Each structure stands twice: as structure tokens, then as C-alpha cells.
Homo-oligomer: A and B are copies of this chain.
Amino acid sequence: MTGESEQALVLLSGGQDSSTCLYWAIEHFGRDAVSAIGFDYGQKHSIELTCARTIAARAGVAYTCLPINTFAALGGDALTEEGVAVEQEPDAETGLPNTFVPGRNLIFLTYAAAFAYQRDIAHLVTGVSQTDYSGYPDCRQATIDSLQQTIQLGMESDIEIHTPLMRLSKKETVELARDLGALEVMADTHTCYNGSRPPCGACSACQLRAQGFAEAGIEDPLIAHA
């Protein structure tokens, strides 16, 4: 438990991992010290934003959604560009999945830091993980460490970036969600790359999620309530 003046801002996408992080932040900083931020960046499945809003409301924290129209202008990725199908196999040349927006997490975290800076919030919390990571170099601890330094230098601030899931497997993340009481909102989270509710079960995101719940021996509330 940190001092009363320590506030935390959670990057809440509406997915399983960031929702778990929201409850982690509430546990560590206290509910009154926690708020959440999300980004409307032209993602194909805006249902994520509805999920994030619902989850924040159920958790009892304020939620702000910032618009980002720049990714769509940059173009070329499967999550924002209509007509680009999500491929299961990573790009042969880069080894990255074609859902990759170069620097997406760097942008999200830098905007979150600017928002936090203006409100004297000293802690950012993000659900990135390098254990089961999907090929995104901006999810690794080395990148986050470097970004934290960049933000501290560039904004003359002491903002810290917390990554409670960084070294957890999907199974361990599910167990953490259970221990934090976060399973109660898991039926409101969104994971499926194809935007289906109930989830398609076939895309890599659905499969990774199902595997985590199966290995933890816990029923996924999203499936149970479908």
C-alpha cells in the first residue's frame, strides 16, 4: 500500500490482461487513487471500448477515452485497416504478426504519461507481458524500462511504469485475476481478434486465453456467460 498522495493510471483496453491490472492497481494503490485510460484509435472492434467503460464502472474507477486518429492515417495494419484480414502466421520478413502497429504501446504509454503529468499522477500500470507475448517488441521489459527513462527525461517527471504481468504466464495471469477478485469482470472483457461475442475460439487470441483458463483449472466467465 503506497501513501495517499500516490495515484495510479491504468491503461485499460477492455481485455483480460489490462482488466486484471486494474484490479492489481486497486489492490496496491487503493480504489480512490486509481483511474483508467483507453484509446479510440480506429480499432476494428470498438466493442473493446464498450467493454473498458463497463469494466471501469463495475470496478468503481473513472475512465477516460482519448481519441487517436493518427494510426488510421499511418495505415497498413490489420487492426485498423478494413479489408486486411488477421493472419495467423507472422509476417515472413519481420517475424511480427500483421496486427502490429509500429510503436503502438510507446504511443499509448506516452499519451498516458502526458495525461498523468497534467494530473500529478505518478504511476502508470500496463498489462504488457513478454512471457506469452505475441511478437510485439514494445511489450518487453527492456523497452518499457527505456520508455520510462525517456518519459522521465522528456517530461521532467518521476512517472513509473508498472508491468505486473510482465513475467507471468497466461495461467498465472488467470490465477492472479482470481486472487484479486477480478474474475467478476472477466465476462465483460473482450479478447477475440475477430470481434465475435461469444468469442470465435479459433483466433490466436482466443486460443491463448482458453489455454490460460484451462491450465489454471478455472472456467472462463466469458464462455460460461455466453
Residues of chain A touching chain B, judged by Cβ–Cβ distance below 8 Å, are 66-70, 73-74, 76, 94, 96, 101-103, 105-107, 110-111, 113-115, 117-118, 137-138, 140, 142-143, 146-147, 149-151, 153-156
Q: A146 — nearest CB in chain B belongs to which residue?
A: B150
Interface of A (DSSP majority class): helix
Nearest CB of B to A181, in Å: 32
CA distance A102 to B101 in the complex (A): 23
Chain B residue contacts of A67, Cβ below 8 A: 69-70, 73
7 residue pairs, one from A and one from B, having the closest CB atoms: A138-B154, A102-B114, A146-B150, A143-B153, A102-B117, A143-B154, A137-B156
- Please name 27 pairs of A and B residues whose Cβ atoms are closer than 8 Å in the assembled complex, sorted by A: A67-B69, A68-B69, A69-B69, A74-B111, A74-B114, A74-B118, A94-B156, A96-B156, A102-B155, A103-B111, A103-B114, A103-B117, A103-B155, A106-B150, A106-B151, A107-B110, A107-B114, A110-B110, A137-B153, A137-B155, A137-B156, A138-B155, A142-B153, A146-B150, A146-B153, A149-B150, A150-B150
